[in-house]
Structure 1
Amino acid sequence: MGRMGILKLLCAIGFLVVLASNVWNISRWSESRGVYDDICYLRQAHLFERFGLRGIDTDVTFDDDHYLKNGLKAIGYAEWHDVKRAPCHPFIPAVDKHVLQYPPGTGFVLSLFPAGFRVAPLYVLTSIVAVGFSLLAMTYASTLYRLILVAAFGDCAIYLMINPTKASYSMAPTMIVCALAGFLTAKIFIDGPRRRLVLLALVGLLIGLSVNFRLPNVFLAAGYCLYLAGAFALARSRDTFLQGLLFGVAFVLGMAPTLIANAINAGSPFATTYGSVDAVPPELSTSVLLSYLVDVQFTLLAISAAWTAWLWRFDQGRAKRVAILVAANIAVNAIFFMTHPIFTPYYIIPIDMVSLWTLLFATLDLRGERAAEGAAFPQPANA
């Protein structure tokens, strides 16, 4: 075994040590954290477990077995006895009922695990996926500098499976989708049009699926839509039209469960199940901007932006196309979240991670003598 083989083995061991630490921490988690959101996500899982796919209807009157009441009582919610005053269950006049505000995806994924032991295995699975993609990236590392890049990124990504994604159960399945979508996005421009069509359809489907976990994940598709629209406007070709069409159709198919849930619970596929507190117009708030600027997630966003700028300057057409797509995605998501009047640290983790996974695999796929020198010491195209 050569030096690179030994270093890769040590890197893999490092990933597995971090994974073991994650699993140990997760194994001691309790599903009764006293958080309203937790009870609501687990109620959706309970509905799927109890009624099958009919559990997508979250009418609060279905709490005839007192699952929601008992959960709220256990965490000391003052009005636990009146489910119509339950948190996360706004009244929707169009259908005259109180319904769960969240899309159905997170609850469905949680329902795949046994009651009382849903959250821990989901987060363990998410950590394993992060390690899997980190190990995959390691196999692409042909130089020491690339291996250092993979090691640093992999440890960061695995760490994020614990903090701060545990703030919301919706983040765990979102992270799985982000890793897979980022990997496939980096491959889109490698081969010919036929492979590109397949990859774009898969990425569209994945991002559509992510909307079923968190509605704001719909903005993860923004960069792809802008890039594909621009490509068609410039080329006016059959291939660019098909690329945009397949991505759009796959994206809508992926988010179909949320559209169906909205039709049942809000009266229309395009109506929101969220209450007025969350469904607010954009607003430029100094306090929100400052909160993001001092948060660690903004650091990851800044790293993504800087990495994208370097990829743009790299002297390869494919690298520039990936950079344009990622830059558009970062810009739209940053504008949306920083003009949303409610600040929550984990909001920008999805755009951070889908961008960083894409940039990592795109960088590792670069060809040429300068690429072989590694991402740590890039040279600009005009050097």
Structure 2
Amino acid sequence: MKIAKFAFGLICLTILASNIVTMSRWSEARGVYDDICYLRQAHLFQRLGIGGFNTNTALDDDGYFEGKLKEIAFDEWQDQSRWPCHNPMPGGKLVLQYPPGTGFLLALFPEGRQVAPLYIAASLIVCGLALFGIFMAPTLTSTVGAGLFGALAIYLMINPAKASYSIAPTMAVCALAGFLTALWLIRDKRSVLLLALIGLLLGASVSFRLPNALLVAGYCLFLAGAFTWSRTVSSFVQGLAFGIGVLVGMIPTLVAHAINAGSPFATTYGSVDAIPPGFDLAVLGQYLRDMQFVLIVLAIGSTAWLFFDGKQRARQVALVVAGNLAVNLVFFLSHPIFTPYYIVPITMLSLWTVSFAWLMQAETAREAVVPAGLEALPR
């Protein structure tokens, strides 16, 4: 089994090294509007500090964004009303539509070399958790499973994560939250602080993508159900701790909305983005032909397997994941627009959670057997 652990660890590190080489060659002017808009937010943070929460186009008096538009040959670079990713707000100002988290993380790196370091840092987190899963696996079967999933997770940091800068940090958060969720439900003592940390991470992920707010759905359903069933102070405190964690994590987004849209609960997205739900067979067909469909099948299949084959605690993990999957899949599959990364966050959060729950359950079972065997040994 040690050979298998070493082999899969080496495979994961090889994929990581290949990813780093590829990421280091990426251009920050590939012609994608979202890219330069995230970079404008980063520039504002580097230039104005906390004042970078204000994304009013009037602050582009140094010509930074105009220069970025020229780099990608945007014809109407002089007309701010035509700038991509910007929407009019009350008072006549134009602001960025995106939450501030991705831009803030990009601002941590030197201008001109921001994207590659962000992706490399996120990939290191994902790889670290993948290696941890491999080396904590107690059996050959679990080692192979953890190794295959780890290799897949690291590969996905190139494709489809490259489609949007917001996906890289989201993938890292999903990996961390998946590990902590399994730890919270599988271990004997359920820590309120650990649950609050999960809420904090998922709340903070909203600062990368607003739809990440849906990642808390399964947790809310599970905690609400637990309180309704038991009506105990402990279950109430757990729900409260999770809610506070989510709220604290969302503070940067709420602040950005208050500054740019006039209210923490207003949106900086325009009316053109408010697309009503509706199942579209053409869109569903695109998902069927995309890598996301494979991830959906893996997430649903592994969750069902954990529920029917796992012990009581593992089944509770499966319930959280199932609720999360149901809410997110209904939302995104009924959203009549296809992108190559919409469903990636929920599927990866689900797979990370199920993977670590499986590994921790197997490890816990082994630890329970060893003392019983030791008791039979001669003293």
TM-score of the two chains, using structure 2 as the length reference: 0.94
Aligned equivalents of 2:130, 2:362: Cα separation in 1: 20
Q: 1:343 aligns with which of 331, 338, 342?
A: 338
The one-character-per-residue Cα deviations of 1:72-101 (angstroms, maximum 9, x if unpaired) are 011011100112210000111x24210000
Aligned equivalents of 1:258, 1:23: Cα separation in 2: 30
Q: 2:321 aligns with which of 313, 317, 326?
A: 326
- Count of residues in Structure 1 that have an aligned counterpart in Structure 2: 367
User: What residue ranges of structure 1 are gaps of 5+ in the alignment?
Assistant: 373-383
Aligned equivalents of 1:11, 1:310: Cα separation in 2: 23
Q: Which residue of 1 aligns with 2:39?
A: 42
Comparing 272-281 with 172-181, greater Cα deviation is found at 272-281
Contact 2:186–2:361, Cα closer than 8 Å, also in 1: no
Aligned equivalents of 1:150, 1:95: Cα separation in 2: 53
- The structural deviation recorded for 1:142 is 1.5
- The structural deviation recorded for 1:192 is 4.8
1:22 aligns with 2:19: yes
Q: Which residue of 1 aligns with 2:280?
A: 285
**Secondary structure of residue in 2 paired with 1:366:** helix
- The structural deviation recorded for 1:342 is 1.6
1:31 aligns with 2:25: no
Q: Which residue of 1 aligns with 2:149?
A: 153
Flag the 1:368–1:89 CA change in 2: closer, same or farther, 3 A: closer
The one-character-per-residue Cα deviations of 1:190-221 (angstroms, maximum 9, x if unpaired) are 3455x431221010000000000000000000
User: Aligned runs of 1:128-277 on 2, under 5 Å?
Assistant: 128-192=124-188, 195-277=190-272
- The structural deviation recorded for 1:365 is 1.1
**Secondary structure of residue in 2 paired with 1:90:** strand
- The structural deviation recorded for 1:6 is 2.3
The one-character-per-residue Cα deviations of 1:327-349 (angstroms, maximum 9, x if unpaired) are 00000000010111221110111
Aligned equivalents of 1:221, 1:356: Cα separation in 2: 15
Flag the 1:287–1:43 CA change in 2: closer, same or farther, 3 A: same
**Secondary structure of residue in 1 paired with 2:294:** helix
1:357 aligns with 2:352: yes
- The structural deviation recorded for 1:138 is 1.1
**Secondary structure of residue in 2 paired with 1:117:** coil
Comparing 55-64 with 335-344, greater Cα deviation is found at 335-344
1:56 aligns with 2:56: no
Flag the 1:281–1:36 CA change in 2: closer, same or farther, 3 A: same
TM-score of the two chains, using structure 1 as the length reference: 0.93
**Secondary structure of residue in 2 paired with 1:99:** strand
**Secondary structure of residue in 2 paired with 1:77:** coil
The one-character-per-residue Cα deviations of 1:170-204 (angstroms, maximum 9, x if unpaired) are 011111101100000011123455x4312210100
Displaced runs of 4 or more, over 4 A: 368-372
Contact 1:95–1:266, Cα closer than 8 Å, also in 2: no
The one-character-per-residue Cα deviations of 1:309-330 (angstroms, maximum 9, x if unpaired) are 1111125110110000000000
1:299 aligns with 2:294: yes
Flag the 1:315–1:160 CA change in 2: closer, same or farther, 3 A: closer
User: What residue ranges of structure 2 are gaps of 5+ in the alignment?
Assistant: 368-379
What residue identity is the alignment partner of 1:358?
T
The one-character-per-residue Cα deviations of 1:90-137 (angstroms, maximum 9, x if unpaired) are 111x24210000000000000000000000011111111111001100
Contact 2:53–2:256, Cα closer than 8 Å, also in 1: yes
What residue identity is the alignment partner of 1:16?
L
- The structural deviation recorded for 1:10 is 1.8
Aligned equivalents of 1:241, 1:192: Cα separation in 2: 19
Taking only aligned residues, the RMSD between alpha carbons, in angstroms, comes to 1.5
**Secondary structure of residue in 2 paired with 1:181:** helix
Contact 2:258–2:264, Cα closer than 8 Å, also in 1: yes
1:101 aligns with 2:93: no
Aligned equivalents of 2:364, 2:162: Cα separation in 1: 42
The one-character-per-residue Cα deviations of 1:219-245 (angstroms, maximum 9, x if unpaired) are 000000011001111111101111111
Flag the 1:125–1:337 CA change in 2: closer, same or farther, 3 A: same
